[in-house]
């Protein structure tokens, strides 16, 4: 039984549901509130094997992995950046790349503009950025815009 500290502190009842046993029945499906991926927890217990002698007895030092067998040290930063390289995907799971053209699949209200970007609007030469709105682009009639990849389809 895991109790959520915040829930207890707020006087709420925190019901523990094991993930291996999801509630069955025809109830409404739980909706994922947002497509924003959770920040990856970097507290990984496993270190990669030594690239020098293939020993599994390695540990993470200050920014480096160290092999206890042969004393080889190598940068852990390098491994982490390749592991955490983000992949941008459209609403249908197609991978998006810088310079791609996309189609808008949902009417999008534009702050400060009178209209909205209509379904089917084609946007050329997108640029992928970090953040909640992860696509930078220019839309005719609106100018520079930021879009969410979940509302677009690769053209």
Which residue of 47, 48, 49, 55 would you call a contact of Zn ion, by CB under 5 A? 55
Q: Which secondary-structure segment (H or E) carries 153?
A: strand 152-154
Name the minimum Å distance from CB 61 to Zn ion: 14
Q: Distance between CA atoms of 16 and 4, rounded to whole angstroms? A: 9
**x/- contact string, 13-52, with Zn ion (CB under 5 A)?**
-------------------------------------x-x
Interaction residues for Zn ion, span 58-77 (CB under 5 A) = 67, 69-70, 72
Which is nearer to Zn ion, 14 or 59 (by Cβ)?
A: 59
Give the nearest distance from C-beta 111 to Zn ion in angstroms.
55
User: How many amino acids of this chain bind Zn ion (CB under 5 A)?
Assistant: 8
Q: Does residue 52 contact residue 8 with C-beta atoms inside 8 Å?
A: no
Which of 74, 14, 10 has its CA nearest to residue 48? 74
Q: Residue 70 or 77: which CB sits closer to Zn ion?
A: 70
Task: Rank residues 64 and 116 by Cβ distance to Zn ion and give the closer one.
Answer: 64
How does DSSP classify residue 9?
H
Residues 57, 112: Cα–Cα separation, whole Å: 58
Per the CB < 8 A criterion, the answer to whether 107 and 95 are in contact is: no
Which residue ranges make up the site for Zn ion (CB under 5 A)?
50, 52-53, 55, 67, 69-70, 72
């Amino acid at each position: 039984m895991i109790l959520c500290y915040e829930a207890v502190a707020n006087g709420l009842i925190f019901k523990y549901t094991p993930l291996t046993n999801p509630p069955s029945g025809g109830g409404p499906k739980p909706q994922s509130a947002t497509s924003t991926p959770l920040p990856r927890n970097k507290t990984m217990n496993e270190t990669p094997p030594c690239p020098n002698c293939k020993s599994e007895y390695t540990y993470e030092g200050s920014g480096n992995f160290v092999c206890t067998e042969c004393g080889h040290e190598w940068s852990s930063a390098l491994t982490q950046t390749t592991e955490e390289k983000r992949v941008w995907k459209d609403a249908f799971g197609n991978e998006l790349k810088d310079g791609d053209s996309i189609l808008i699949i949902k009417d999008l209200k534009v702050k400060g503009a009178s209209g909205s970007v209509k379904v089917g609007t084609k946007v050329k030469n997108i640029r992928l950025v970090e953040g909640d709105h992860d696509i930078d682009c220019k839309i005719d009639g609106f100018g520079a815009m930021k879009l969410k990849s979940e509302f677009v389809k690769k053209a």
